[in-house]
Amino acid sequence: MYHETHRGSAQEAASPVCGVTKFAVQVVAKLVARDGADEAGLREILLQRLFDAVTTANLNALDDIKPEFKRARISASAMADHYIPEVARRLGTAWEDDRLSFAGVTMGVARLQAILRELGAAWSADALGQTDGPTVLVLLPQGEQHTLGTMVLAGRLRRMGVSVSLQIAPDLSQLSNFVADRSFDGAMISVTCKSRLETCRKLIKSLKDATKGRLMVAIGGAILDDAEDVLRLTGADVVTNDISHALGALGISVGRSPVLELS
């Protein structure tokens, strides 16, 4: 199930552990509904083949498995929204169980990111005929490392017809100028743990000050398991890991995501 929090409600606190385990096991997986993944009917043999391909020393492994996914009629959208997050979760679990080294997880994540970049080359709101559609600022605060998660999020938003500006570890003064010169319909921030909340608070304050309070901000990520009251500590408008719910809370209406085929 998704976790959601609005102003006036509280979160249950959990262990404030940060790092690759948080990133791989929670952050990426929670950007996409696990319920949705279950409904997608993920094929275990393909999941294992993708896991093996991103963790092997064989540089041709990813190219070798592409025909299998194509024959199985796995769409690019399903790959990005379900297969990659699930394999990322398994990378984290393997590291946590001492079945994979830190270097192995790092390599696996880098290769998953490479796949996402390749898949996302054709994913833009403009390309989908949404030139006058909504625009969202997606932020990864300084100190965070789960870039794969933000790439999954950005790709899904773009396929929903939302133009996305992805900013990683932005400088506050530069971000203020950037936002003041543009008209975003909302902002989304991904955070892993409580130790990043002060950075997140400053980030949100800069966004609010630059837009005179107009820009609404949603927070998601593994922080939902760590902080008792993310809204109070950061000044965000909504905290949720449900992308559709976040868009609704930001006042953004989108259509159905198109299904794109693997090339």
Do 72 and 89 lie in one domain? The reply is: yes
pLDDT in tens, 193-235: 778 889 899 999 999 999 999 999 999 887 776 666 888 889 9
Do 160 and 230 lie in one domain? The reply is: yes
Averaged pLDDT for residues 89-100:
85
**Residue 263: pLDDT over 80:** no
Q: Which residue has the higher pLDDT, 118 or 29?
A: 118
Least confident interval from 31-40, 150-159, 176-185, 231-240? 31-40
Do 10 and 133 lie in one domain? The reply is: yes
**Residue 38: pLDDT over 50:** no
* Contact status, residue 125 vs residue 158, Cβ threshold 8 Å: yes
* Boundary (domain end) residue, out of 86, 120, 154: 120
Do 152 and 232 lie in one domain? The reply is: yes
CA-based R_g, the chain, Å:
18
Do 114 and 157 lie in one domain? The reply is: no
* Contact status, residue 112 vs residue 84, Cβ threshold 8 Å: yes
Averaged pLDDT for residues 30-55:
72
Q: Which domain holds residue 215?
A: 4-15+125-249
pLDDT of residue 203: 93
Strands 163-168 and 135-140: parallel
Do 110 and 130 lie in one domain? The reply is: no
- Output the CA angle 105-106-110, nearest 5 degrees: 115
| Residue whose pair of structure tokens reads 């905290």 in the numeric block | 239
Closest CA to 246 of 133, 153, 151: 153
Establish if 87 belongs to a structural domain. Answer: yes
Q: Number of structural domains, the chain?
A: 2
pLDDT of residue 117: 80
Do 82 and 170 lie in one domain? The reply is: no
Least confident interval from 1-15, 18-32, 43-57, 198-212? 1-15
Cα distance between residue 229 and residue 226, in whole Å = 9
pLDDT in tens, 164-183: 898 888 888 889 999 988 88
Do 149 and 39 lie in one domain? The reply is: no
pLDDT of residue 9: 33
Give percent above pLDDT 70 in the chain: 74
Cα distance between residue 188 and residue 20, in whole Å = 21
Q: Which amino acid is residue 28, in one-letter code? A: V
